[in-house]
A and B are shown apart, each in its own frame.
Chain A
Amino acid sequence: MPLSVKHLLGINELTVQDIEQIFKTADNFKLVLNRPIKKVPTLRDTAIANIFFENSTRTRISFELAEKRLGAETINFSASGSSVSKGETLIDTVNNILAMKVDMVVMRHSASGAPWFLSQHIDACIINAGDGINQHPTQALLDAFSIREKLGSVKGKRVAIIGDIMHSRVALSNIYCLLKLGAEVMVAGPPTLIPKHIASLGVFVEYNIKKALEWCDVANILRIQLERMQKPLFSTLREYSLYYGISKDLLDSLSKKIIIMHPGPINRGVELFSDAADSKQSIILNQVENGVAIRMAVIYLLSGKREINEPI
């Protein structure tokens, strides 16, 4: 059964069945990743371009590894050092890459909606690897997959998303994904970093970090994104970490053991202290491991939709 979508642009376009199918396929890829030979030849006839207009470590390596382990050919493109700095437009850049017979594009862009815009203009399958402050669908899928792996299911679980909600594409995709799967979601952080009408998505809003942690089963802690802030939204990083930083002491003061997640990169000592990030409650590195399996599943399921070339 293929996915109901041709591209993966955002979580809100996926059905619950789509997400469950991605998880089930990822389970199988996880088995492949734990074998001596961590590679299958499924996509040996597929070429995939990773087009990154914004910096990335984890997502980019994770996508590239996922593609290689599916047997696909990959090319990497980053905006710095390319003709983008000479003034080439997005469509021109991508069309030139596609003219070299690429079947799929994995794209990250600093402008929200850039992958959606591109999908209106080109035929290739597009996977959004993060666009501005809009969405980061594969991250949300791997977060939910990690919760499912750790707690057995996502349904009925309480997940608090903590920190810089306003500038976070991870937050928005996570909210859509978790609500679809039947979890209860809370966002928490300083009022200046929480968008005004976010409760209309069906999430709880909390400004007190201790109360949020007492409420939840899982805390997904987000990075403070100074680079996206146009104006100061809190006084200093030190003040933020005093009121909203999560330490082992804070976790130990709770009535139950909650699970700590972080999409990375961590600002150690700001939103999350080292003793909490490296504690047994943290599944941060499991998230990274699951990221490859989830991306393999998404690429596998989407590339099946490719139209085959006319026979010569």
Chain B
Amino acid sequence: MIKTLFDSKKLNLTLHRLAHQLIENHVGFNNTVIIGIQPRGIYLSDRIVKLVKEIIGNKPIEYGKIDITFYRDDYHNNNIHIPSDTDIPFSIEDKTVILIDDVLYTGRTIRSAMDALIDFGRPKKVELLTLIDRRFNRELPIEPDYVGLTVDTIQTQKVIVYWQEKDGKDEVAMIEKS
């Protein structure tokens, strides 16, 4: 069974809202950097960065990507994940970092991302932006600061975010595994 949570119109509205929320809290983006989590989080972070730039007038924003493959805690139980590139061409020392991922589920990915991040320096503060928050499935005490949509799901359900540039459509869908 497939249930559409966001169509492209609603997704666009939500992205605009998230971009405005970021700007509200980080006026000017002077000491704030944005880091997307590979591989699926970067489509969201690309969009958010583009929107923020449009709104604040194309001021350069420090934007990087982080791969967490080598920091995972399920290395021996799962199949090997193919690493993607990490690209953080600036210092994060004493800056506010906004981590961006598409779906927040158990929290383990974010735990790995924070570990990976700290290998690059000591940020002043780390915030988390996520499009979908599956709030009842957390296995670690991690909460998002900016949320697109909170959904109540059970473990047999799956939430997939499709992006135009990768999958040919903008949509968020919940799939029930049978």
Contact = CB atoms under 8 A, between A and B. Distances in A.
Contacts of B120: 35-37
Nearest to A28: B83
Contacts of A308: 76-77
Contact of A35 (B72, B77, B119): B119
B79 interface: yes
A25 B69 CA distance: 11
Contact of B85 (A2, A28, A41): A28
Contact of B75 (A32, A36, A37, A42): A42
B75 A304 contact: yes
Contacts of A35: 119-120
B170 interface: no
B136 interface: no
B14 interface: no
A253 B76 CA distance: 54
A92 interface: no
Interface in A34-48: 35-37, 39-43, 45
A1 interface: yes
Contacts of B119: 35-37, 39-40
Given A1-B82, A45-B76, A304-B76, A28 B67 contact: yes
A24 B67 CA distance: 14
A42 B71 contact: yes
B115 interface: yes
Interface residues of B, number: 19
B79 A1 contact: yes
B80 interface: yes
Contact of A31 (B80, B82, B85): B85
A43 B84 CA distance: 18
Nearest to A40: B70
B35 to A, nearest CB: 14
A39 B70 CA distance: 10
A40 B76 contact: no
Given A31-B86, A36-B120, A42-B71, A2 B80 contact: yes
A24 B84 CA distance: 9
Contacts of A300: 70, 80
Interface in B26-75: 67, 69-72, 75
Nearest to B68: A40
Contacts of A24: 82-83
B80 A306 contact: no
Contacts of B79: 1-2, 304
Contacts of B84: 28
Nearest to B72: A42
Nearest to A41: B71
A301 interface: yes
A249 B74 CA distance: 55
Contact of B80 (A1, A28, A37): A1
A82 to B, nearest CB: 30
Contacts of B67: 28
Contacts of B71: 40-42
User: Which of A21, A41, A306 has the most chain B CB atoms closer than 10 A to its own CB?
Assistant: A41
Interface in B105-156: 115, 119-121
A31 B65 CA distance: 13
A25 B75 contact: no
A38 B56 CA distance: 36
A213 B121 CA distance: 48
B70 A32 contact: yes
Contacts of B121: 36
Contacts of A41: 70-71, 115
Interface string A141-177: 0000000000000000000000000000000000000
A197 B76 CA distance: 44
User: Which of B70, B72, B77, B85 has the most chain A CB atoms closer than 10 A to its own CB?
Assistant: B70
Contacts of B86: 28, 31-32
Contacts of A45: 76
Contacts of A32: 70, 86
B65 to A, nearest CB: 11
A300 B83 CA distance: 11
Interface of B: 67, 69-72, 75-77, 79-80, 82-86, 115, 119-121
12 contacts: A1-B80, A31-B85, A36-B119, A36-B120, A36-B121, A37-B119, A37-B120, A40-B119, A41-B70, A70-B70, A304-B75, A308-B77
Closest 4 CB pairs between A and B?
A40-B70, A28-B83, A37-B119, A304-B80
